[in-house]
Every structure is written in C-alpha cells, then in structure tokens.
Structure 1
Amino acid sequence: MIRNMYKVLLVDDEMIIRQGLRVLIDWRSLGLEIIGEAENGESALKLIQECKPHILITDVKMPKMSGLELIKKITEMGLNIKTIIISGYNDFAYVKEALKYGVYDYILKPIRESDIVSILKDVVRDIDHTIIRSINSNESEKLMKDNLFNRLINNSITIIEFLEKARFLNISVSDKPYRVTTVEIDGSSDLDGEELEYRRFSINNICEELLEKYSNIITFHDRSNRQVIITNDNEIDKNCIKLVAAEIRDCVKKFLDFSVTIGIGSSVGSIMEISKSYSESVKALKEKFLCGKGSIIFYENIQNKHPDESGISIPDSEKIRHSVMLLNKESSIGEIKKYFETIKEKGFGKTSIIQGCVDLFFILFSVVKEYGNKSIDAFPNEEEVLGTISSSETIEEIEETIIGFTVRIIDYLSSIREDKHERISDKVVKYIRENYSKNVTLKSVAKHFYLNPAYLGRIFKEETGELFSDFVNRVRVEEAGKLLVTSDCKIYEVAHKCGYKDIDYFRSTFKKVTGITPAEFIKRRKQA
C-alpha cells in the first residue's frame, strides 16, 4: 500500500532524547511521520526491515550495536535510507567514518529545533527529487501527489510550499471555487489488506475514467483509504457533482459488486480552503449511520441537524420481552421493528441509538439467562454482541443483528421446550455446502447463526467427528473435482470458484484431501 507520509525512525539509548525529538518538531507539517523508536542499533535493524523507513535519526554510541555499526549494516543491505547522526562528541574523524557510508548530515547535542528542522526540510526535498529522478513512473508521482494533498486537506502545509510542490508536479492551481467529494468503501474494516487495496485501485480507475472529460480534477487517497476528489465548482457545480457521484456509486455496484457511500463538502473560495470542504465531506459520511450504505450525502443538507443525545427510553421493553418469552417470533420482530422506526423518526444521535440498542440487547439476554449457564454458552457472549453493535456502520445493521439474535433465542428456547433440539451441525453443513465458494470461516458462520465461534467449533466436532476447517476444505475439494472434469476451467479458475484465492494453497489442500494434485486428478480422469 502506498504511504502518504515519509517515514522516520528514531534511535537513541536515552528515552528522554527520543521523547524530546517527538515533541520538539512538528513532524506532520514537514510531511513526515514517526513510525517507531529503538534504544539500540540491534532493535533498530529489526524495525528497519519491518517498517522500511525513509529517514533514520540515530545516536552514535549505544549498547549492543552502535550507530556506526547500524549504518554499515544498512549500507551492506543496499537500503536507500537518509541517515542523520546525533552525537555529543565533536569528533571529525568519527564524522568522516560515518560519511563514508553515505550519512546525510550530522548534528550535535544539545539539539536545536532550527538546526534539525532545516536538515529535515533538505532531506524531504532530496527524497522528493530522488523519487522523480530514480523511479520515472506514475507510482512515484502518485506518492508525492498523495503526500502533498493529504497535507493540504489536513491543513499542515503553507501556501508557499504547496504552490512550489504543485509546480514541481505540474499541477494547475487557480483561485476558482473548489469542492471536495469523498468516496468511502462500505464495510472496509472487515476487509484484509489485499482486498482493500484491490477495491481502492478499482475505485480510483472508475473515478479517473468517469472524470477524464473534465479539466483540473484532482483525485487521491486520504489516510483512511478513502478516495478524495477535488473539483472546480465553476466547471462541475452542485447538481453536476451529484450526478457524477451517483454515476461513480452505480458503476462500483454494477462492475465491482460492492457499495460505496459518498460525502460531499460545500464550495470554498480557493484551494487553500480545501481542508474545510474535506472536513465537511467526512462529517457527511458519518450520516451513513442513519442514511444507510450507498448514500450520497451533501454536508449542506445535514449541517443544521442537531441530534438528540439525551438517551433513549424503551417504554415497550416488557412487551418485547413478553413476546420472546411466549416464543412469538412474529410479534417479537414486529415490536423490535416498531422500536427502530421510533428512534429513526425522533432524530436521535448515534451515541444515544447505540446505547438504546445495548439496553435492548440486555433485555433479550436476560431471557436467555433464565435458562441457565448452558443456554448462555450457546450464544455469543455479551462483549461480542456489544462489539458488533458498536462497530456497525448503519442503524439497519444493528436492527438486523438484534432481530437475528431474537430469532435465534426463540428458535433455541423452542427446541428446549419441545425437547427435540435440532442439531446445529446439520444447519451449518447445509450452509457450508451452499456457500463454499465464499469466504466461509468459523467466525463468519458463527456470526450468521448468532453463535459463539468457540462453541460452534466444539459442537461441530462433537456432532460430526470432523474439524470445521477440515470439513470446509473437503467440501471445496469435492466441488473442485467436479469442476475439473466437467468444465473447461483452468485450475486457477476452479480454485477461485471454490473459495481459494491462493492457487498454491489450493494445490496443497487438494493433495492433502485426495492424495494427488489437481493436474494428476485431471490426467487420471481422462485416462479412466
């Protein structure tokens, strides 16, 4: 993933020096971020391999591995890191030794802010120029552009520096009014790094393709993986940007099969006021909680709203509880839906809504507790459900969670009362066979059935005699075998259709289950 700031590693055996450097300098205003600290060269080397910093600021005399030894190691490894040495020893021979290994600069303790800031500005400028000179590609320019505009929207760059870097990157800037539109991937917190990067890349391509007919459009990613679009209000007014936003949303849904929510800030007079419009677009995105995923939200339409955070009472809580105790599924769901309709209509804020839903959950959980500890073990614990409610992106997701939990309670209590408890594993087996091509994990299946993952894993093993993961792999391999002999799909295509993203993992799993590789399987079937 492309980083928007140049990364700095601080190395000194004195904690007070490291802490002093953190507070002495306004790192963000220089386009820098501290990604780690180490108290000696040995620890620093591990961090360098993991975090790959652009800049190293290190003391010279430290235990285990000195600053000079660290610099030698970096040079031997061929790492391109700008190094600044800090020392209390004004020893020119020592400096000469360090310079042989490409040290960028040298500064004496006590450190003066003006000295190190001046050096850091030179380092940042050198890195900027080095990236353009040494990697003549769109990626290098994108890194610099993302860095520049992230500093702009976060109001951490002066107009002089911004205009200078904009000229360097051939970015046209005018005094015309601008507006910021921010595109957020719905459910991004549940995605792994590879999938998130794929979606970012795909959205960026769609945005650039749809916006290429306009001039002076700026697109980049902010530090929260959102696509940011800066438009000229004279060319794309409020009505036009609404149409463009709808086109972006619809294309993402149609071609990529996931949803995005779009927040749009108000128009500002100049490029240097962009941070205001950006901040408004992000505030607009927060209204997703009530507006729902896939919404297009203008800040002007929500800026005068004052949500009620005084708290939500549940006057019909006994009615909900009574319906659940009677095992009346239809009545219970109806009462819960009425509850959610009420809180939507009354304009409560997100904090109050979440607290109200937590209270409702405890009412439902109290019914389960009346059936003893064994019953409680069959459900997600309180902490898990509360986490699900708090992390929900929309009120609809919370409503779905509460209704699902209620249905699960009623089904479970019905099975106890009738003394003919249906095996959980039968439902899970059916679900896996119907969804094996998707991202089926113990956690996701437990969530689907409103069960605790550890409990589900234990019950599944007890009732089937097979580990959950082994069963999933067996089903996938069985389906893959059918496809390999009945279709013209390539092996990697079959792997993808059966839920495997990694072709090597598919091959090894296939061989583990069948005793032969997919290629050998095809060959034997053709010979048979």
Structure 2
Amino acid sequence: MLIKLMVIDDEHWIREGLKQTIDWESYGVHFMCDAEDGIEALKLIEENPPDIIISDIRMPTMDGMELFNELKNREIDVKVIFISGFDDFAYAQKAIKLGASDYILKPIEEDDLIAVVERCVGEIKQKNEMNCKMAELSGRVRESLPLAKQKHLEMCLSRPISEQELLSKWETLQIDLNPNKLIVLSAVVHEWGDRRLDETGCSLLRYAIGNLIEEIFKEAGIRALACPLHDNEYSDVALIVSSCKQDVSGQYNEVLSCATRAIEEAFEVLGVRISIGASQIGDGRTLLFTFREALTNSVEYLAQGTGRIFGPTANDNEPLNVFAVNTVDEPYLGMKVEALDTAWLNRIFHAIKLKDEGKLSDLLDQQITLLQDMVQQTSALAVRREMNSHIGMLLSRWQDMCQARNGSDSCMLMYHQKLQLYRSPLINWKHAVMSAFLMKDTSASGYGQKYTIDSALQFIQDNYHLGIGLNHVAKQIYLNPSYLSRVFHAEVGETLSRYLIRVRITKAKELLEQTSLKIYEVAEQVGYRDFRYFVKNFKELEGITPSQYRNYGA
C-alpha cells in the first residue's frame, strides 16, 4: 500500500515541480493532492488525511506553522516536512522542536527531499507493523483466554479459595498449572507507547502484554497464565507461573530471567515501559496473598525507578525488602502526609490554573523531596496510595475547571495520561504532572522516556572522565542496564557505549589541541585507564592516532 503525500505551497510552479519531476511511486509514495494555503489544505485533509505533508512555512491566509498547530490540536497523525527560505530558518527550527519531521531550505535539492521522505515512509511502515503486531497479539489472547477463565483468575487473586474448589475449577477450565508451586508476577505499565489510548485501547494493550509475557515463558519451557487487570489501582497484568523443578533457586533464576526479557520485549515489540514485582513460592490456596506480595514489591518502582524487577533474589541475588502480605489493607500508620495534604493540593492547583510553570516546578521539587523522605520511613505502596488519592483530587478539580471554562471536555486528559500519573515514579513525577496539566507535550508517550535519556546524557557529560560505563549510568537513573541500552539506542540512534566513546574522544581532541599533556595523561583525563584501549578507540573514530592528530593539528 502506497504512502499518501500532500504538497502545500502558495507558488504554483513549486507544487507542479514537486509533482511532475519526482517519480514518487518508485519510492512507495502516492502524490495525493496539493493546496495553495493552509485553509484549502485543511479541508482536503479532513476529507482524506495524508500520511506525509510537504509544506511551505510562509503562506497567505493560514501559514504552515498555523496549519501544523491545528493538526496537532485535532490530533491528526501526519508527518510534516517544512520547506523554507533562509529567512524562515528560525521558524523551521521551532517546528522541529514542536514535532515536525524535518525541514529543507530552498532551493530544494531533490536528493535531500527524497532522503527525508524515505525516512518518514520507513517510520510510518514501522509504526503500522507495530500496530498490526499489537492487534494480532490482542486477538490471539481474546481467542485463547475465555471469559470464564479470566473471571476465575481474577477471583483467585481477590479472595481466598479452598483447595477443592480450586482443583475442580482448574480441571474444568483446563488450567495447566501446578497448584502446589506457584509464583505470581505483577506487571505495571508506566508509559503506554506512541498512542493516544482510551479505556478500551488500554484494555486491549493489557491483553497484548499478557500474551507477550506468556509466550516468553512458554519458550523457556515454563507454564504461565496471564490475567489482565482492568480495574486494579496498582497493577495492569498479573502472571501466575508454575514449575516442576525441585531446585527453588534454579526455578527463581529462570522466572526472573524471563521477567527481564518481558520488560525488554514489551518496549521493543509494543513500545510500552513496564516494571514487574515477584512473589515468593506459594500454592493455589494462597494466590490472594502471593499476588498481594508481588503487587507490593512491584510498587518499589516509586523510589527505585522503572524497567526493573522487584522481589526475592531480584537484585544481584540479594533479597529485596518484601513487605508483609497484608500491607495492601493496612492504614497509613497514622503518619502525617504533609506533602499530600489539602494545603499542598491548593498551592499546586493554583499554579496549574495560572499556568505558572516556574512556580509549579518549584512546588513539585519540594513535594518530591518530602515524598522521598516518606518512602524511607514506610512502604512504597503506602506512599503510592496517598499519592493516588492526591492525584484523584487534582484530576477532579481539573475536570471542574475545564467544564466551567468552556462547558466541554476539550482540555480533559486522555485515559492513558491519567494512568501515567497514577503509575509515575518519583523521578518522573514533576514531568508527568507538568506534561499532563500544562500540556507541555501533547504527544504523550515519549515524554518520560525522553526525560530519562536526557538524564543519562547529562550524567555522561558530567562524569565521562570518571571511567563510567553502562551500569553506572543505569544505576544513576534507576533503570535495568539491558533495558537502558535498548531505550538509549532507540532514542539516540547509537549504543550508549558508542556515544560515551565519542564524548571521550571529542574531549581528548580538545586536550590534544589546547594542552601539552602527554598522550597517556590525556587518556586518564577523559576516563581511560588503559592507554592502549584509548589509542585503539581514537584511531577507530578519527582514522589516525592521538600523536598523529596532535602533529597534524600543529
């Protein structure tokens, strides 16, 4: 299927030139139509939306930037490539920051334009393939997990069940799990991918995540059954795992290995970021309590970051702090929740109402500091519960304000945006709130991920000279190293190790040019402990040795 292209420019000869001089179909593109300004284009787009738009910036009636903002407001998913004269360069740069795909300066070079269009075509096809995979996974789950089985699993996780009832039901529903050795995993979704999902969309994605995790365990020879949780305040998918192995340690290692792969493939295949909590081994009669243990452990992401596994032996073979199984039902121990009281709520909402970004940022920084202190004194789940209550009141006030202002739901948050607030770790809390209520980035999904990568880049810039590596960066920003490696490559376009080498070699070149330090001293200054490895990396990147570079520069 060809990708649909539209060209918008007030100069007829440019439109005709782009239409006639390039064999678009040979690049998998159908030249759909053209328009002379934004108003005419908007009418055509409403009737038949294109996949890619090539637009001039300055046009009469409605210019390219105004059209671009209108498309974003209407949530029309389209790639926009701006063409501009030199005088419009600043506008083009602004457009890129707001989400445009690229800009090309006039006069237009055909090869440059085709390269940008081919990149957009590749991104569109990749996104379509991912959506197809998600739909396929969702469909397969709905076929393989009848409603009766789903309801029974939900019941097992919500109330005690007798052994006789369990065995009878499992035989009837053909649940092939060993009821005497069960581990429960609780998966939490923090970011829902590059999608604007309503409640139904999030439900389908939970099915897809559950099916993906089931398949990973099946490939490892471990029996497992997923149970999407559509109404749980803290968890999105539960997984019940059984094994016939007598070696408890070996069984846990296999389960945790599969859980690690699930976190990585959830991002790679479905574009979602998850964390997983694991329980100890229980049996069918205690599923309620093992699930509560897994759920309690999963909420450790609040302080320790997302994309990790929390539970027994999940951290370098040392047990994490597993809270009592009845923690979910305990009151807040009578602690004064200063950071989440009505006074704080009023101050934060007042800053949101006034769109005072600076004031809101300061308040959230203070709130995070108080919440971090609270997590040290009590369970992460207790703090999460109080935060969710705080979020509920904030959303209620926001809804009332939106309806009072314009009598409509036009400024209401999407369903997945609300979930991201309820699932946000402390490290992303400020950005989640500001993104949602100040509409800092209505594209929704990538914001938390971009902030994570920005934090990694900043840490590298500040500490490259200390001999840091992937594990140091991952520990600093609370991520699993393997998961960080994948996310970093997807966002930056190269591996973290390669990026770190480039940073160090760039700094080394500066020292070679500006100082009289010996070569081995330069290597130490930029974080290398092995002089030969420094020379090897330098030559691979620059094509010459450090000594040759210094002499050449001189």
TM over 0.5: no
TM-score (norm 2): 0.36
- Which structure is higher in RCO with an 8 Å CA cutoff and minimum separation 6? 2
Larger radius of gyration: 1
